[in-house]
């Protein structure tokens, strides 16, 4: 704050400066859009934040009945410095004081301080990423140009973070609101305003120019040359694989002291090429991170990584299907639904393919997850989210507890004992979730029972009516499952709210985990039932094939085609924009888009896919091929969807995929058990064993032994592949070392000064 002087008069871009924006827009290309002359932005409190151009970041939509005095008070709160209980942001009242929107932006100092509070890492003058410190801002690259220093997503998230963090400093009445809406001391203002209907909506603004650039690179490129998120990434992954193998080979050569010189030369040449492709690929993901934030960027990185990793199982699956001559039969089988080929099902050399596939999918899933972890940690370093300080920041707005001194940070804030939360989880959440899982099983059992009843009825009556009755159990089951799912979602939300997590990310993770378990159970209960109780491999194969094809088609249609059609033919006509429209109307128009539903649906789709692949793929080798085809379209459709069909989401900086990472890992463990079991079920293997004179008990014993050995191998593999690349580990240790040194130095300071 050394520069914060006495000059309080410097205003953020006022009415006339907004005009200047127009001229600069062409040059900079980073500005969102011009703002018309008018009452202008609120004043900034320190001169270093003064800037001639102000970028509108977030729009606050007010309720229809909000009076001008309330709006004026709100604008004052948003613009007031933090020591006066304000948010220290910039507010603009839109066209006039009675309009129903407030446009919000953030001055430099607020952005920088929040970046420190969130624990973002930025490029230091040494070129390394370091935790940003406001006091040391001058040593960070680009810290004078906010649009280069913080990504658009970060700037918008910071605005939301500051608005959400607004707390009343004393009891006060909001002008224009009844007495009953009094603010108590330390009440969360934004929550109170939302519940009072003053604030209807807070949403970040799209930047049309950036969005167009991003879209062009992402989904509307040449369809042949860039089938994925970018041809660059394709070549990158191939290169990376090749480089990995060559590196290992070179290292062995090196180690054996053989042809040292040549080895290193090849190595270096490849490393250069690798660095180049890595650069190309990362620039593409960087722009996603820049525009949509790290949560979305992590999803797309994972989707890319996963899709390209599917190449190997797809090739293996194709080969197995082709050589076993089963490909055609499978296709026919799955499409026609006939069950005629059960008897000669596992004949011929199929058995080896079966086992090969099971073994392969086990190793593949382990290696895939370990490599993703490494990639994930590089990405979080690159995006400066490896060192987030959420634990040390203010608790989330909904967190409540007795006011006290946080023992760690020494700040005054609500405290809630850990054991109380644990108790709530164990005594309330776990039983309720268990109850719902029980309801799913109950539904499934009723469905089977009903189906048997109806079939019996149909056999007895054999009329058109009874044929229609045949569909009733399925319909009822679908309705039941959907209702249960909706009820469960609300219950999960309340349960997680009741658990009272301190950090936003902990809240998200617990909520996601609850819904995830349920959805997963819902999806796989039937398949597990077929595999482990009915022990009917052909039925499993048929079910898997139809699920893969039908559910993916349905997904693509519901996810993309319907929103697209709705947007094009129902919403869009009301939203025709012309260049002459006032800027406010353009802002308002963005609100007509539906809210982005979050990444849950996208992730769960991938997880269910991954489940099909790793758990059951050995019975249907074409799984990987179908998934690969699906994902290649999925990348483009997801990209199109998030760019065009929804409002821009707020996205907090995240360091990894959170609970999804765990879910994928758990699945890859369960896959070992499932594959061993499916191998055991294979009729061909059982026949072979009978020929070999083994009793079924001995076969089972062998399978159990094999399973334990495989799990052991999986553990060892997971332990041997380090979770972060060597260079990240070094950077992290370096950070730890410097902060240890700093602690010692700092203790000395009071003595010296």
Residues at the interface with a copy of itself (CB under 8 A): 116, 131, 133-136, 138-139, 251-252, 255, 389, 391-392, 407-409, 418-420, 422-423, 426, 673, 696-697, 700-701, 704, 708, 720, 726, 730, 733-734, 737-749, 751
Residues 6+ apart with CB under 8 A from 41: 11, 12, 13, 14, 54, 90, 91, 92, 105
545: which 2 tokens?
């094939």
576 or 749: whose CB is closer to a copy of itself? 749
Strand, coil or helix: what is 38? coil
366 or 637: whose CB is closer to a copy of itself? 366
- Tell me how far, at minimum, the Cβ of 408 lies from a copy of itself, in Å: 5
Burial 654-670 (b: 16+ CB within 10 A, else e): bbbbbbbbebbbebbbe
- Ramachandran area for residue 257 (φ above 0: left; ψ -120 to 50: alpha; else beta): left
- Tell me how far, at minimum, the Cβ of 692 lies from a copy of itself, in Å: 17
- Tell me how far, at minimum, the Cβ of 453 lies from a copy of itself, in Å: 28
42: which 2 tokens?
């609120």
Q: How far from the centroid of its chain's Cα atoms is residue 284's Cα?
A: 17
Handedness of CA 335, 336, 342, 348 (dihedral sign): negative
Helices and strands (DSSP H and E) totals, the chain = 28, 8
255 or 569: whose CB is closer to a copy of itself? 255
Locus of tokens 């998934």: 627
184 or 535: whose CB is closer to a copy of itself? 535
- Tell me how far, at minimum, the Cβ of 323 lies from a copy of itself, in Å: 33
490 or 746: whose CB is closer to a copy of itself? 746
CB-facing half-sphere around the CA of 192: CA atoms within 13 A: 21
Cβ neighbours around 325 below 10 Å, total:
12
Cβ neighbours around 612 below 10 Å, total:
22
- Tell me how far, at minimum, the Cβ of 739 lies from a copy of itself, in Å: 4
Asked if residue 613 lies in contact with residue 624, where contact means CB atoms within 8 angstroms, the answer is: yes
- Tell me how far, at minimum, the Cβ of 658 lies from a copy of itself, in Å: 16
Strand, coil or helix: what is 111? helix
Beta strand segments in 304-456, E: 402-405, 412-415
261 or 748: whose CB is closer to a copy of itself? 748
- Tell me how far, at minimum, the Cβ of 424 lies from a copy of itself, in Å: 8
Asked if residue 220 lies in contact with residue 639, where contact means CB atoms within 8 angstroms, the answer is: no
Rounded CA-CA distance 511/489 in Å is 9
DSSP H helices in 53-182: 68-79, 108-118, 146-149, 152-164
- Tell me how far, at minimum, the Cβ of 402 lies from a copy of itself, in Å: 13
The length of the chain, given as a count of residues: 753
Rounded CA-CA distance 682/345 in Å is 10
- Tell me how far, at minimum, the Cβ of 666 lies from a copy of itself, in Å: 10
CB-facing half-sphere around the CA of 743: CA atoms within 13 A: 5
338 or 695: whose CB is closer to a copy of itself? 695
Rounded CA-CA distance 50/386 in Å is 31
427 or 572: whose CB is closer to a copy of itself? 427
133 or 571: whose CB is closer to a copy of itself? 133
- Tell me how far, at minimum, the Cβ of 600 lies from a copy of itself, in Å: 23
Rounded CA-CA distance 151/154 in Å is 5
- Tell me how far, at minimum, the Cβ of 538 lies from a copy of itself, in Å: 21
490 or 753: whose CB is closer to a copy of itself? 753
570 or 752: whose CB is closer to a copy of itself? 752
- Tell me how far, at minimum, the Cβ of 393 lies from a copy of itself, in Å: 11
116 or 164: whose CB is closer to a copy of itself? 116
553 or 704: whose CB is closer to a copy of itself? 704
166: which 2 tokens?
């607004």
Nearest-10 Cα torsion for 648, 650, 652, 655:
-20
459 or 747: whose CB is closer to a copy of itself? 747
Measured between its terminal Cα atoms, the distance across the chain in Å is 19
216 or 745: whose CB is closer to a copy of itself? 745
- Tell me how far, at minimum, the Cβ of 249 lies from a copy of itself, in Å: 12
Rounded CA-CA distance 60/89 in Å is 13
Burial 38-75 (b: 16+ CB within 10 A, else e): bebbbbbbbebbbbebbbbbbbbebeeebeeebbebbb
Q: How far from the centroid of its chain's Cα atoms is residue 511's Cα?
A: 14
- Tell me how far, at minimum, the Cβ of 265 lies from a copy of itself, in Å: 19
- Tell me how far, at minimum, the Cβ of 391 lies from a copy of itself, in Å: 7
């Amino acid at each position: 704050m050394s520069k914060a002087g006495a000059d309080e008069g410097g205003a953020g871009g006022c009415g006339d400066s907004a005009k200047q924006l127009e001229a600069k827009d062409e040059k900079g290309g980073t500005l969102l859009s011009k703002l018309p002359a008018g009452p202008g932005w609120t004043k900034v409190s320190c001169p270093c934040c003064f800037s001639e151009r102000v970028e509108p970041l977030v729009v606050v939509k007010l309720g229809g009945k909000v009076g001008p005095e309330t709006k004026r008070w709100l604008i004052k709160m948003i613009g007031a410095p933090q020591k006066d209980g304000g948010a220290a942001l910039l507010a603009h009242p839109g066209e006039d004081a009675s309009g129903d929107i407030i446009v919000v932006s953030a001055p430099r100092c607020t952005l920088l301080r929040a970046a420190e509070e969130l624990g973002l890492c930025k490029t230091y003058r040494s070129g390394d990423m370091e935790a940003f410190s406001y006091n040391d801002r001058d040593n960070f690259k680009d810290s004078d140009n906010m649009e280069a220093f913080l990504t658009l997503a970060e700037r918008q998230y910071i605005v939301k973070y500051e608005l959400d963090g607004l707390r009343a400093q004393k009891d006060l009445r909001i002008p224009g609101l009844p007495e009953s809406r009094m603010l108590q001391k330390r009440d969360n203002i934004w929550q109170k305003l939302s519940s009072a209907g003053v604030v209807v909506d807070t949403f970040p603004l799209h930047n049309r120019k950036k969005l167009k650039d991003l879209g062009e690179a992402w989904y509307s490129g040449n369809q042949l040359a860039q089938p994925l998120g970018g041809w660059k990434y394709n070549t990158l992954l191939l290169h990376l694989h090749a480089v990995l193998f060559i590196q290992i080979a070179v290292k062995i050569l090196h180690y054996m002291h053989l042809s040292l010189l040549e080895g290193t030369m090849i190595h270096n040449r490849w490393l250069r090429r690798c660095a180049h492709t890595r650069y190309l690929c990362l620039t593409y993901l960087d722009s996603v991170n820049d525009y949509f934030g790290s949560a979305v960027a992590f999803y797309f990185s994972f989707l890319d990584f996963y899709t390209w990793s599917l190449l190997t199982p797809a090739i293996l699956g194709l080969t197995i299907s082709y050589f076993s001559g089963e490909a055609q039969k499978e296709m026919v089988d799955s499409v026609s639904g006939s069950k005629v080929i059960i008897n000669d099902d596992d004949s011929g050399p199929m058995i080896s393919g079966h086992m090969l596939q099971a073994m392969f999918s086990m190793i593949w899933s382990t290696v895939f997850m370990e490599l993703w972890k490494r990639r994930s940690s590089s990405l979080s370093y690159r995006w400066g989210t490896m060192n987030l300080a959420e634990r040390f920041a203010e608790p989330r707005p909904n967190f409540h507890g007795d006011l006290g001194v946080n023992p760690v940070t020494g700040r005054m804030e609500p405290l809630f004992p850990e054991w109380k939360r644990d108790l709530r989880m164990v005594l309330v959440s776990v039983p309720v979730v268990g109850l719902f899982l029980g309801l799913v099983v109950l539904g499934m059992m009723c469905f089977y029972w009903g189906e048997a009843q109806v079939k019996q009825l149909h056999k007895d009556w054999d009329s058109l009516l009874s044929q229609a009755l045949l569909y009733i159990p399925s319909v009822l089951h679908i309705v039941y499952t959907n209702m249960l799912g909706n009820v469960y979602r609300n219950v999960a939300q309340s349960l997680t709210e009741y658990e009272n997590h301190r950090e936003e990310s902990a809240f998200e993770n617990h909520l996601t985990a609850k819904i995830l378990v349920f959805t997963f159970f819902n999806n796989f209960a039937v398949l597990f039932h077929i595999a482990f109780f009915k022990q009917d491999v052909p039925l499993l194969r048929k079910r898997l094939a139809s699920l893969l094809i039908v559910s993916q088609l349905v997904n693509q249609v519901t996810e993309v085609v319907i929103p697209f059609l709705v947007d094009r033919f129902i919403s869009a006509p009301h939203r025709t924009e012309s260049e002459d429209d006032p800027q406010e109307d353009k802002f308002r128009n963005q609100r007509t888009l539906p809210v982005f539903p979050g990444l849950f649906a996208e992730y769960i789709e991938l997880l269910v896919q991954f489940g099909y692949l790793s758990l059951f793929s050995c019975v249907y080798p074409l799984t990987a091929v179908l998934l690969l085809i699906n994902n290649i379209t999925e990348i483009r459709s997801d990209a199109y969807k998030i760019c065009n069909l929804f409002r821009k989401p707020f996205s907090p900086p995240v360091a990894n995929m959170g609970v999804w990472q765990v879910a994928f890992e758990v699945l890859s463990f369960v896959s070992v058990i499932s594959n061993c079991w499916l191998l055991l079920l294979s009729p061909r293997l059982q026949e072979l064993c009978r020929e070999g004179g083994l009793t079924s008990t001995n076969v089972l014993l062998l399978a159990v032994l094999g399973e334990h050995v495989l799990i052991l191998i999986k553990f060892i593999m997971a332990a041997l592949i380090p979770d972060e690349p060597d260079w990240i580990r070094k950077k992290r240790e370096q950070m730890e070392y410097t902060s240890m040194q700093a602690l010692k130095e700092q203790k000395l300071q009071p003595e010296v000064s």
